[in-house]
Amino acid sequence: MANHKSALKRIRSNEAKRLRNKYQHKTTRNAIKKLRETTAKQDAESLFPSVISMIDKLAKNNVIHANKAANLKSGLAKHVAAL
**CA 26 to the chain's CA centroid:** 7
pLDDT tens, residue by residue, 50-78: 999 999 999 999 999 999 999 999 999 99
Residue-range definition of the domain harbouring residue 73: 40-83
Please give the share of the chain, as a percent, with pLDDT higher than 90: 94
Confidence check: pLDDT of 35 > 80:
yes
For residue 46, being part of any structural domain is answered with yes
Q: Distance between CA 23 and CA 53 in Å, rounded?
A: 16
**CA 17 to the chain's CA centroid:** 14
Confidence check: pLDDT of 2 > 90:
no
Q: Distance between CA 14 and CA 40 in Å, rounded?
A: 41
Which pLDDT value is given to residue 57?
96
For residue 62, being part of any structural domain is answered with yes
Total number of domains in the chain: 1
